Structure 1
């Protein structure tokens, strides 16, 4: 769907009450918001329930910039990219709930169908599981297959390194919702998926998982080798030894998946299996820090070459998603987190996919998966900056993205030029034509929501509670988030002060720690005062 088609959607603003508070709203998604192949069989309007928290800055200028883009992100995720899940295409495992029968697709600019593991998992992880638990679950189930004898597994397609992020997203979904039925199936799918990947892709010499990097299915994201001139393909696995690479982002996600799987095992009463997963996770964390950490520059390298002429060599490039996941998944300790945030390279328009340019690219011809700002990667880094205590870098990340999207008519595009901020798809091989940056990209929109929910307000979910660890930049003034859904409770959260240290917290007017237990019910008002 083009940006001009957004007028057909229902504006989020129509669902806000006069005082800005709302616990849940019903979003109307006209049939025109889905491709013909995704239309529900009745052809009638379909209703999908989402909770849409209202963001309110006391400062009018901040509301007009960050608040306006927040509304646009909700519209992008819910009004444009939540579509009907045609059963024959998306419900291979028989787990999607009809109704609502909807899920979050990758973006409005792509042909349908889109059964893409990485996009589904990231969108659920970023925001969909919080805002619409049934839709979040459907989005995750849309990329699950049911094996004849071994049960559920993440679809085994030709981007197998994408499968592991599903496990992290599934654990997050359970932590938010407490849905035991979801957990039982998610544990089976996660255990089967990690067993398959360990059997096929684990490099015992390094103690790392082999395969391309999380973001980079395009060859523009890699040095030479594996890139070699003359092949012409954009897909990374068409190049020799690309499957042997050991990449920072992918291994950090494996660590996150193993710790998530251990948590799932504990929850379903399999303590012995949980211990095994934790042991594997700890060994992997040690291997990542042994082989990929670079003490001299104080950051992680990008990848270790596998079976090519540079086998065993560490590429020193900066991988934006890899640095973010090192922090968010817990691979980097406090010292490494501080150093990598201090030393990260920023382009004028934000954190890029991989820095610097590989030799076949330049400022004039940037590589699509090289020195470009992908909002999803940039948002992950922004969240990591907040988690790492860098209020200044978090502010830089969120204002960078707001500027990029604001300059493109409030449309969350796929990627942007890192120097000019222009909507730009970049090049893949250096010899091909310029690619298109797709409009209405779901994970660009959900990435912005992630920076609001997980960064600014610091919402962190475990099976037992949601804790609130905000990051409020100076001069932003008071900010509130009304109608946050949490299981059987609804939260209104107001932040005052500045910084990331909680000076005081009240819940319903009584002094409290900044956390709400999973058993809470009803409406609660949280007020947090911050200091640097």
Structure 2
């Protein structure tokens, strides 16, 4: 076993795990999926089997992995079973002991360049000199991403000053991968394998370090500089970046675990940012190891949390890239785009209306009206795929977010997200000064709501059907999507609470909301996070915070410090929507925030759990304004730290309380109190 230690703020989490437990070493241009113990291990089950790990500079996999070993007195000791692995977010350090040598193997990736580094620090704790040799073995690879459309290449490896380089012809022409060291060495090449030996003579009490850099050069990219200096500078800047991220937007509540999960979630979102231009504009990886692709629904579910976390530019870029693909597909939003820009799945039916909702979510949080002007026509055109439904003739036909065979042709989630898109487009139209459009969309939404209640409600179940057959027959399977009428607002108010109460009783176990009641009892973070939002909005803050806590606790199972796809762990070991929904659950659920950054307005309706006396968000960004927000059961205090214009804050302590409001100038403060 290997002891993991994860460092977050001033806290350290520890757990024993198998040495092959995965670890994600992230950069926007390059990343590695390797192990906490140091052993090379195959990752990937459903896409590129056994090859989703290794080192990727998408759309290319450039190295299967490397291995270190120490040779002393004729005995070779592989460094593949670390005693301890320290996880810092910015970098990973494995610890070994061989004889009197203490070894620290650190790996990290540059954040903005396709450069990947490893260092080995050896310290002699004995009384006699140590004469050893470090062995480095690297297996080169050159292959395109899953469904990249190009066969893997056989790399041609050559020695270069200080290391080796590999390249290939055809589709790989113009790409050179270099692996160089800061210390003199002689490299040997055998097929895909490159090996080097590094003499290591360490005096008692002395420490010596070796450094290596793996880099990708495309066409006329400049040659990387000195390895040692670049390694030091890169690690220093990355540590500083992560410290900035940690301190930028801070949460303080009476629950220290919730505070730490907040930091983990924001750190995970940062780690999942990707920039693979020119193949794809910057976006967010959906989950690893299986889903580095650009996804429609994963992105749309994550936008509010991503923007509230401080990564608005990445959210915008991802939406714009989805929009470019949708425009070429007559405004149908794709489900999955490979990392070299090929559409694998043209989109489930609900993803087009979900995209409109996500665009509005981005605008609400960012205030970016230029973006809205450009995306509005695309979102409007997307409705043409639902023209029959909007004219009162049936419901959309096709798969929705639950991809399960045997359901009726018309899916509940599709209708719910279509309704939400209509109300969203109404608000978009009003914002852009198009009242005629707003009236039309509001009319569609009202007509859909009226039909929905009569066609989908099952009185004996006290629930809405999961699907309808083409002859109108209802089918109830108990999938997690039964939540969506409540969450999207299409459910009649008197039925919404009834549905929510039954879900909490019958769909929720100790970990969260099950996928399908009585059939698939796995708990996914997606429905659990969405249920948390619904619970908060309907006044059940105790359930809401417990569900968020369940998402957060996945960071303590398996790989420490990453939020998983399943609860407590399973499938992807780091998942975008897990982190983003946790953040949204805090901002829009716990604090009850509804931002309208384009109007410089913020609505605040806090829902504090039992026993909580207060909660504070420091450094929250709403558009171009930055604020501190402190809430208690009795009042909300807002400090406007940055911004060029006043902020209108509207506060309501509870649904039966009157609204209070104040216009706060930059540098000012407002205290809005509950009515006595």
Report the TM-score, using the length of structure 2 for normalisation: 0.57
Q: State the 1:392 CA deviation.
A: 2.7
Alignment match of 1:74 (pick from 266, 287, 291) = 266
SS of the counterpart of 1:3? strand
Distance in 2 between residues matched to 1:303 and 1:148, nearest whole Å: 29
Alignment match of 2:301 (pick from 122, 125, 133) = 122
How many aligned positions are there? 436
Q: Is the 2:286–2:299 Cα contact (8 Å) retained in structure 1?
A: yes
Distance in 2 between residues matched to 1:327 and 1:349, nearest whole Å: 21
Q: Which residue of 2 aligns with 1:234?
A: none
Pick closer, same or farther for the CA change 1:523–1:413 going to 2, 3 Å. Answer: farther
How far does the alpha carbon of each residue in 1:148-200 deviate from its partner, in whole angstroms, 9 at most, with x for none? 899866348432312221100101111222212101111011012121x214x
Pick closer, same or farther for the CA change 1:527–1:398 going to 2, 3 Å. Answer: farther
Q: Which residue of 1 aligns with 2:466?
A: 302
Q: Which residue of 2 aligns with 1:342?
A: 501
Q: Which residue of 2 aligns with 1:488?
A: 624
Q: Which residue of 2 aligns with 1:132?
A: 311
Distance in 2 between residues matched to 1:259 and 1:118, nearest whole Å: 19
Distance in 1 between residues matched to 2:675 and 2:518, nearest whole Å: 36
Distance in 2 between residues matched to 1:179 and 1:518, nearest whole Å: 23
Identify the range of structure 1 (465-474 vs 516-525) with the bigger mean alpha-carbon deviation: 516-525
Pick closer, same or farther for the CA change 1:145–1:507 going to 2, 3 Å. Answer: closer
Identify the range of structure 1 (126-135 vs 477-486) with the bigger mean alpha-carbon deviation: 126-135
Distance in 2 between residues matched to 1:512 and 1:442, nearest whole Å: 30
Q: State the 1:379 CA deviation.
A: 0.5
Q: State the 1:316 CA deviation.
A: 2.2
SS of the counterpart of 1:290? helix
Q: Is the 1:506–1:512 Cα contact (8 Å) retained in structure 2?
A: no
Q: State the 1:349 CA deviation.
A: 1.5
Alignment match of 1:86 (pick from 277, 295, 312) = 277
How far does the alpha carbon of each residue in 1:341-360 deviate from its partner, in whole angstroms, 9 at most, with x for none? 21112123211222231xxx
Alignment match of 2:90 (pick from 6, 10, 13) = 10
Alignment RMSD: 3.8
Query: Is 1:504 equivalent to 2:504 in the alignment?
Result: no
Distance in 2 between residues matched to 1:512 and 1:271, nearest whole Å: 26
SS of the counterpart of 2:355? helix
Pick closer, same or farther for the CA change 1:125–1:478 going to 2, 3 Å. Answer: closer
| Aligned pairs (5 A) from 1:303-452 | 303-306=467-470, 311-323=471-483, 325-344=484-503, 345=506, 346-357=508-519, 370-408=520-558, 409-416=560-567, 421=568, 423-424=569-570, 437-452=571-586
Distance in 1 between residues matched to 2:332 and 2:392, nearest whole Å: 27
Pick closer, same or farther for the CA change 1:402–1:282 going to 2, 3 Å. Answer: same
For structure 1, the 5+ residue unaligned runs are 12-26, 91-101, 227-243, 358-369, 425-436, 498-502
Q: Is the 1:178–1:487 Cα contact (8 Å) retained in structure 2?
A: yes
SS of the counterpart of 1:10? coil
SS of the counterpart of 1:397? helix
Alignment match of 2:651 (pick from 504, 507, 514) = 514
Q: State the 1:283 CA deviation.
A: 1.4
Distance in 1 between residues matched to 2:649 and 2:274, nearest whole Å: 40
Q: State the 1:133 CA deviation.
A: 2.0
Identify the range of structure 1 (405-414 vs 136-145) with the bigger mean alpha-carbon deviation: 405-414
Q: State the 1:209 CA deviation.
A: 2.3
Q: State the 1:381 CA deviation.
A: 0.8
Q: Is the 1:73–1:448 Cα contact (8 Å) retained in structure 2?
A: yes
Pick closer, same or farther for the CA change 1:352–1:468 going to 2, 3 Å. Answer: same
Identify the range of structure 1 (36-45 vs 330-339) with the bigger mean alpha-carbon deviation: 36-45
Q: Is the 1:383–1:451 Cα contact (8 Å) retained in structure 2?
A: yes
Q: State the 1:40 CA deviation.
A: 9.8
For structure 2, the 5+ residue unaligned runs are 1-20, 27-86, 92-108, 117-141, 146-215, 225-233, 336-344, 641-647, 653-659
Distance in 2 between residues matched to 1:506 and 1:327, nearest whole Å: 30
Distance in 2 between residues matched to 1:469 and 1:69, nearest whole Å: 22
Determine which structure has more spread, i.e. the larger CA radius of gyration. 2
Q: Which residue of 1 aligns with 2:361?
A: 172
Alignment match of 2:381 (pick from 151, 174, 192) = 192
Report the TM-score, using the length of structure 1 for normalisation: 0.72
Q: Which residue of 2 aligns with 1:97?
A: none
Distance in 2 between residues matched to 1:2 and 1:320, nearest whole Å: 29
Q: Is the 1:320–1:378 Cα contact (8 Å) retained in structure 2?
A: no
Identify the range of structure 1 (399-408 vs 203-212) with the bigger mean alpha-carbon deviation: 203-212
Q: Is the 1:103–1:138 Cα contact (8 Å) retained in structure 2?
A: yes
Higher helix share: 1
Distance in 2 between residues matched to 1:405 and 1:149, nearest whole Å: 39
Q: Is the 1:129–1:135 Cα contact (8 Å) retained in structure 2?
A: no
Q: Which residue of 1 aligns with 2:348?
A: 160
Pick closer, same or farther for the CA change 1:131–1:322 going to 2, 3 Å. Answer: farther
Q: Is the 2:649–2:662 Cα contact (8 Å) retained in structure 1?
A: no
